[in-house]
Amino acid sequence: MKSEEIEIDFENSIGPWIGSTIKVIDYYIHEEIKAEKLDLTKEQIIILKNLFFNDGINQNELACLTLRNKSSLTRLLVKMEKKNYIIRKQSKEDKRINNVFITPLGKEMFVQTRPMIKKTMDIMEKDISKKEKQIMISLLKKIQTNFGLTIESL
């Protein structure tokens, strides 16, 4: 049996545009981190941001918030512990649970990234009106919902 030829208009489809935009943003952030000579990765900045605003969260919740599987998060946290950016403490209530805390050095590193993050957001949102920004956020949320997943539901 011969499979049907399925036509896909990649140029006018949302997915490839979202994917290539993410790659452009990731590249820009990587270059900015290098230029600032920060001993961090984008993934480590995301962990520090989450802990900066939600210190002591358990490791499983952090995995959900950052859309990482438990083993890749564990590897990332081990590297961050070696740099003294975070510490993990076993929960007193449940020994199977580790709570993750940001250290003073981790806070300092996150604060150092804020100008770079602000600059990145400013470039990303240049010439985009507030109304366009709200429409885009709404559309991206709709896409997440179409997949049955949102950051809030994870």
* Residue-range definition of the domain harbouring residue 137: 125-154
Q: Cα separation of 42 and 49, whole Å?
A: 11
Total of domains in the chain = 2
48 and 30 in one domain?
A: yes
108 and 54 in one domain?
A: yes
pTM of the model: 0.84
129 and 98 in one domain?
A: no
Contact predicate 75/63, CB 8 Å: no
Q: Residue 146: what pLDDT? A: 92
CA atoms within 13 A on the CB side of 112: 18
* Domain contains 151: yes
Does position 85 have pLDDT exceeding 90, yes or no? yes
Does position 111 have pLDDT exceeding 70, yes or no? yes
Q: Residue 53: what pLDDT? A: 95
* Domain contains 37: yes
User: Which structure tokens are listed for 146?
Assistant: 């179409």
* Domain contains 7: no
Burial class (CB in 10 A: 0-12, 13-18, 19+), 77: buried
* Domain contains 64: yes
107 and 148 in one domain?
A: no
85 and 69 in one domain?
A: yes
pLDDT band at 66 (very low <50, low <70, confident <90, very high): confident
Q: What is the CATH number of the domain that holds 95?
A: 1.10.10.10
* Domain contains 76: yes
